[in-house]
């Protein structure tokens, strides 16, 4: 199966953008819930880089047993869900009193989510290499440019314009688009069309209800409102 180079680069760009974006959003939630923006960003970035590597190592082990496209399909499902639900889940589990005992368990769970996103993202580049073997250099370039774009877009555009909750939902919908593209290769055009309409509508709704979505995150943070 051959792929148009433009699609390969665009998909790589989107995937890299989404992965680092999720991590920045998680770092933001961790900084709000635990405190210490500087420390949380440092921890998240190093855990992300580490788990990214671990993901590519594990991909090397499972590659002979599974089809690349299917691996990528599952990775995108996983990333869409973890990215979409991550900020809400993290805010909730890090609220005092939700977990009995100290803060060690919820914090470990929160950092595990950070590792999970990095680990799943680690599969993406080797998958893209395998889907288009002759374009490794350019795929890598698209990957790094995607990460650069995320690091600029998150603090300068998404966070001030949409807030944490809606930003991460918009980006998760981008991730979902890649999932649809991978499904469309099987020739399910109607399904793809319906999916695209659903994604577009969800994106519009997310933008319209951005205040409510961020309020939901606030309620999870505060618990019962006085």
Name which of 3 and 111 has its Cβ closer to other proteins. Answer: 111
For position 43 contacting other proteins by CB under 8 A, the verdict is yes
CB of 16 to other proteins, least distance (A): 9
**CA torsion sign, 154 to 157 to 160 to 164?**
negative
CA distance 142 to 17: 10
Torsion over CA of 129, 130, 132 and 136, rounded to 10 degrees? 20
Residue in the structure block whose two tokens are 């933008």: 207
Give least dist CB 34 to other proteins, A.
Answer: 9
Residue 66 is classified by DSSP as S
**177: which 2 tokens?**
């688009």
Count of H-run helices and E-run strands, the chain: 8, 0
Residues in contact with other proteins, counted by CB under 8 A, come to a total of 61
| Residue 198 makes contact with other proteins by CB under 8 A | no
Residue 10 within binding range of other proteins, rule CB under 8 A:
no
The site for other proteins (CB under 8 A) is made up of: 20, 24, 28-29, 31-32, 35-39, 41-43, 45-47, 49-54, 56-57, 60, 87, 91, 95-96, 137, 140-141, 143-145, 147-152, 154-156, 159-160, 162-165, 210-211, 214-215, 217-218, 221-222, 225-226
């Amino acid at each position: 199966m051959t792929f148009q180079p433009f699609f390969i680069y665009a998909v790589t760009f989107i995937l890299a953008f989404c992965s680092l974006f999720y991590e920045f959003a998680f770092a933001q939630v961790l900084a709000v819930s635990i405190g210490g923006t500087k420390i949380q960003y440092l921890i998240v970035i190093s855990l992300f880089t580490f788990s990214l590597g671990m993901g590519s190592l594990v991909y090397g082990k499972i590659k002979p047993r599974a089809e690349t496209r299917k691996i990528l399909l599952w990775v995108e499902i996983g990333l869409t869900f973890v990215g979409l639900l991550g900020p809400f889940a993290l805010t909730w589990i890090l609220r005092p009193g939700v977990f009995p005992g100290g803060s060690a368990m919820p914090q470990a769970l929160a950092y595990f989510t950070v590792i999970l996103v990095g680990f799943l993202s680690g599969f993406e580049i080797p998958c893209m290499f395998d889907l288009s073997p002759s374009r490794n250099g350019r795929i890598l370039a698209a990957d790094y440019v995607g990460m650069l774009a995320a690091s600029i877009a998150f603090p300068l555009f998404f966070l001030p314009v949409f807030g944490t909750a809606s930003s991460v939902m918009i980006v998760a919908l981008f991730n979902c688009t890649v999932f649809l593209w991978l499904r469309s290769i099987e020739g399910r055009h109607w399904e793809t069309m319906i999916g695209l309409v659903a994604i577009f509508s969800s994106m519009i709704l997310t933008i319209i209800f951005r205040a409510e979505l961020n309020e939901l995150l606030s309620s999870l943070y505060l618990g019962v409102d006085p």
